[in-house]
Amino acid sequence: MTSTILITGTSSGYGKATVELFLDRGWNVIATMRRPDPSVFATSSDRLEVLPLDVTDAGSIRKAIADGVAAFGRIDVLVNNAGIGMASAVEATPEATVREIFETNTFGVFKACQAIIPQMRKQGRGVIVNVTSSVTLGVMPLVAFYAASKCAVEGFTESLSYELEGFNIKARLVEPGYAPTTSFTANGGLRMQGLIPADYSDFARSCFTRMGNYPTPYCTEAEVAEAVFAAATDEGGTIRYPAGADSKLLADLRWTTSEDHYLARMREMFGPEPSLRAA
Ligand SMILES: NC(=O)c1ccc[n+]([C@@H]2O[C@H](COP(=O)([O-])OP(=O)(O)OC[C@H]3O[C@@H](n4cnc5c(N)ncnc54)[C@H](OP(=O)(O)O)[C@@H]3O)[C@@H](O)[C@H]2O)c1
């Protein structure tokens, strides 16, 4: 039987690449977007259904799931990929902006999981893949609220994975690194304006320059799509799938070295340069 996957946030970036990979590998794909536009994909197929879904709207999530099941009979894999980003100084970030980030990155994931679990339990199997970020492995400065929104999903997903194991449903995480090639930075641009005050600007500049000179290549859409494919199809008990060389470097630091070593390397990569440290 052909397997079916539903993916959120597929108008660009990692979500779009994931749609194309699963179509290439013969799956039925329910590609969801806030404003459905099948022309974003390189190919058309009778195995592709493009449906509206806004993760901040529980009704639209339920409708996309019902319409997807009506089209293909079942949903084997749900990928919660939709997300928005932001860099800001904590003291300058309005509560409304923090809530906007959490509504999409965190509550959006919670809502989609709550909506799919009854369907997967009825089917007797399923896989939920939640896309977080390498910031959950190595937390860089000036993204505290974004990191918080994704770290919440990490704890949620690991707990859910134990909760659903007895129902033959897996809950997993794909942790992509930074890719300047997606629409992520442009989509966050407006939201970030004015959120890094002048007192932080030397530090922010040095930090973002060092990010540009990162010791590994950037992550790619293809690497994230492959990590989602592994998370969707692996038979084992793995929960976390770092994607991209930068994310794997941080996973290595976090998982295989001491706290002291991890913190020293993080400060080297992202902390204030000596000239910017408090006396
Ligand atoms: N690129 C990176 O450096 C990076 C690094 C680590 C993690 N990630 C994560 O990877 C995921 C994909 O990001 P990306 O880099 O591919 O960025 P992207 O190109 O901006 O894609 C994000 C997608 O999410 C959609 N979206 C935003 N708000 C939504 C909502 N309320 N409901 C449904 N869809 C919504 C956007 O659709 P619209 O067209 O409707 O705006 C877009 O299709 C995100 O969860 C992001 O946090 C990205």
CA distance 263 to 204: 19
Q: How far is the CA of 13 from the centre of ligand 1 (A)?
A: 7
Reference 69, options 24, 116, 37; nearest CA is 116
| Range name among 157-166, 177-186, 210-219 with the lowest pLDDT average | 210-219
Kindly report, residue by residue over 61-104, the tens digit of the pLDDT.
999 999 999 999 999 999 999 999 999 999 999 999 999 999 99
Residues 247-263 have a mean pLDDT of 97
Query: Which 8-state DSSP code applies to residue 226?
Result: H
The pLDDT value given to residue 124? 98
Q: How far is the CA of 47 from the centre of ligand 1 (A)?
A: 23
Residue 274 predicted with pLDDT over 80:
no
The pLDDT value given to residue 167? 98
For 122, counting Cβ atoms within 10 Å of its Cβ (0-12 exposed, 13-18 middle, 19+ buried), the class is exposed
User: Domain for residue 19, yes or no?
Assistant: yes
CA distance 21 to 19: 6
User: Domain for residue 92, yes or no?
Assistant: yes
Residues 184-199 have a mean pLDDT of 89
Domain range enclosing 30:
4-197+218-245
User: Domain for residue 263, yes or no?
Assistant: no
CA distance 140 to 135: 6
User: Domain for residue 120, yes or no?
Assistant: yes
Question: Is 14 one of the catalytic residues?
Answer: no
Total domain count for the chain? 1
**Do the Cβ atoms of 127 and 173 come closer than 8 Å?**
no
The pLDDT value given to residue 134? 97
User: Domain for residue 278, yes or no?
Assistant: no
Residue with CA nearest ligand 1 atom 42: 9
Q: How far is the CA of 114 from the centre of ligand 1 (A)?
A: 20
Residue with CA nearest ligand 1 atom 20: 184
CA distance 97 to 241: 29
The pLDDT value given to residue 96? 96
Q: Which atom of ligand 1 is nearest to the CA of 179?
A: 3
Residues 225-233 have a mean pLDDT of 98
| Range name among 9-18, 89-98, 233-242, 263-272 with the lowest pLDDT average | 263-272
Angle of helix 201-212 relative to helix 259-270, nearest 10 degrees, comes to: 100
Q: Which helix (H) or strand (E) holds 75?
A: none
CA distance 215 to 234: 30
The pLDDT value given to residue 212? 79
Where does 127-216 have alpha helices with state H?
144-165, 184-192, 201-212
User: Domain for residue 252, yes or no?
Assistant: no
Task: Supply φ then ψ for residue 197, to 5 degrees.
Answer: -65, 160
Determine which one of 146, 200, 241, 262 is catalytic: 146
The pLDDT value given to residue 173? 99
Q: How many helices (H) and strands (E) does the chain have?
A: 10, 7
User: Domain for residue 267, yes or no?
Assistant: no
Residues 34-58 have a mean pLDDT of 97
The pLDDT value given to residue 279? 67
CA distance 185 to 172: 25
Task: Supply φ then ψ for residue 37, to 5 degrees.
Answer: -150, 95
Reference 183, options 1, 14, 5; nearest CA is 14
The pLDDT value given to residue 34? 98
Residue type, 236: G
Residues 238-256 have a mean pLDDT of 97
User: CATH number, domain at 137?
Assistant: 3.40.50.720
Residues 155-161 have a mean pLDDT of 98
Chain mean pLDDT for the chain: 95
**Do the Cβ atoms of 77 and 127 come closer than 8 Å?**
yes
User: Domain for residue 149, yes or no?
Assistant: yes
Pocket of ligand 1 (CB under 6 A): 8-15, 33-34, 53-56, 81-85, 104, 131, 133-134, 176, 178-179, 182-184, 187
